[in-house]
């Protein structure tokens, strides 16, 4: 966790995330993220590229029987 200040840029508000925090999470510069504002929390999560999302869905479906057996 870190502490940051909000800054106004045009009609938007900006929070700067330190490089060390992004590196620790494995989020690269320029990554697309989702931002969810809920009550008193802001949740930021990386978005999987469409091709990776499709590949992981395919792999999960292909291996579903084996995963169910292991569960």
pLDDT tens string, the chain, 71 residues long: the values are: 889 999 999 999 999 999 999 899 888 888 889 999 999 898 988 887 777 777 878 888 888 888 888 87
Domain boundaries, the chain: 7-70
Q: What does the pLDDT read at residue 53?
A: 72
Report how far residue 65's alpha carbon sits from residue 33's, in angstroms, rounded to the nearest whole number: 32
Per CATH, domain 7-70 is 2.10.260: yes
Beta bridge partners of 13: 8
Q: Report residue 54: phi and psi, to 5°.
A: -65, -40
Q: What does the pLDDT read at residue 5?
A: 92
């Amino acid at each position: 966790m870190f502490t940051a200040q909000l800054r106004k840029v045009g009609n938007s508000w900006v929070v700067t995330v330190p490089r060390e925090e992004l590196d620790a999470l494995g989020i690269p510069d320029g990554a697309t993220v989702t931002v969810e504002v809920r009550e008193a929390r802001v949740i930021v999560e990386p978005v999987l590229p469409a091709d990776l999302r499709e590949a992981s869905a395919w792999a999960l479906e292909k291996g579903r029987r084996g995963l169910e057996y292991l569960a």
